Amino acid sequence: MRILIRLIPLLFFCWTAQSPAQIDSGTGDVINNLTYAVAWKQTAAEYRALYHQGFNIARMQVEAALARRASGDPPLAVIADVDDTLLLSHAYWGYLISRNLDFFDDRSWDDWVRANRAEPSPGALAFLRYCYDNNVEVFYITSRDQGEETFSLALDNLVTAGFPFADQEHLTVLRESSNKAVVQERIRDTHRVVVMLGDNLNDFSRRYYLTDVEERIAGMEADSQHFGSQFVLFPNPTDGHWIRAIFGESEPAASAENRARLKAAALRNSWDGSASN
């Protein structure tokens, strides 16, 4: 009984810390908002092909830049985001679903980063090695926060993946902010940046750091000519600033209110079922 009394506050904390996913009253099945997106990430050949497509385009840009390069030009560089661009964490998202969690969970994400089990995205290693072999420097910029260990954990992830340029000079970890612009400008001071790789428009420009869905889409359309030239974008249906545009924050809490907000986003342009316009 004494043990039970001690456990009650802990059980209450666990219950309140993460509101569980909804249960279908008819079937008893868990309704998990992440299921479709994670099933796509885990199984779709099309999803993986988009990475090859992106790295093939990036390589064409690097080849063209190398061909144009004249003696005395600044060194060439590529700027790359890390998560969902070069490293994939499907197993983490699968873990969330296995625990009936339907929103990103910061605490288990930190454990996942420490576990160092992320995998290189399809084509990433070959592209980065091509850059290395041709003296095109790769700079990694990632927004992560696992406390004091953040930099060393991120570096370990890159080293384990076998990526070149995995060192202090080429890796920047932003713990306090997702604003990559300052680091990008610093790299541009000394290098000609051929292409930037990311899964989030914010990886390319801070202009996209908006909480309004329409403004974000309009900003992207204004830059449409840059995709496939300056910017190479990879798919990410589970997280990113598109989530922030819906919820006002990048890591919304698992709550009934946020599930309703997500559903409202999905209904944004829904058909009413009528035959006429």
Q: What residues make contact with Mg ion under the rule CB under 5 A?
A: 81, 83-84, 199
The distance of closest approach from Cβ of residue 260 to Mg ion in the complex, given in angstroms and rounded to an integer, is 27
Residue carrying the six token digits 């930037």 = 196
User: Least Å distance between CB 190 and Mg ion?
Assistant: 24
**Residue nearer to Mg ion on the CB measure, 84 or 102:** 84
Please tell me the distance from the alpha carbon of residue 99 to that of residue 112, in angstroms, as a whole number: 14
Name the residue nearer to Mg ion (CB basis): 21 or 195: 195
Q: Report how far residue 98's alpha carbon sits from residue 38's, in angstroms, rounded to the nearest whole number.
A: 11
Nearer to Mg ion, 65 or 81 (CB): 81
Q: Residue 181 in 3-state DSSP?
A: helix
* HSE-up of residue 129 (Cα within 13 Å, Cβ side): 7
Nearer to Mg ion, 21 or 80 (CB): 80
Contact (CB, 8 A) for 123 and 131: no
Cα–Cα distance measured from residue 6 to residue 28, given in angstroms and rounded to the nearest whole number: 31
To Mg ion, the closest distance from the beta carbon of 208 in angstroms equals: 13
Closer residue to Mg ion in complex, CB, 105/199: 199
- Determine how many CB atoms are found less than 10 A away from the CB of residue 240: 19
Q: How far apart are the first and last CA of the chain?
A: 66
CB of 157 to Mg ion, least distance (A): 12
Shortest gap between Cβ of 159 and Mg ion (angstroms)? 19
DSSP string, 23-55: E-TTT--EE-TTHHHHHHHHH-HHHHHHHHHHH
Report residue 43 as tokens. 């199984």
Residue (34 or 65) nearer to Mg ion, CB: 34
CB of 119 to Mg ion, least distance (A): 14
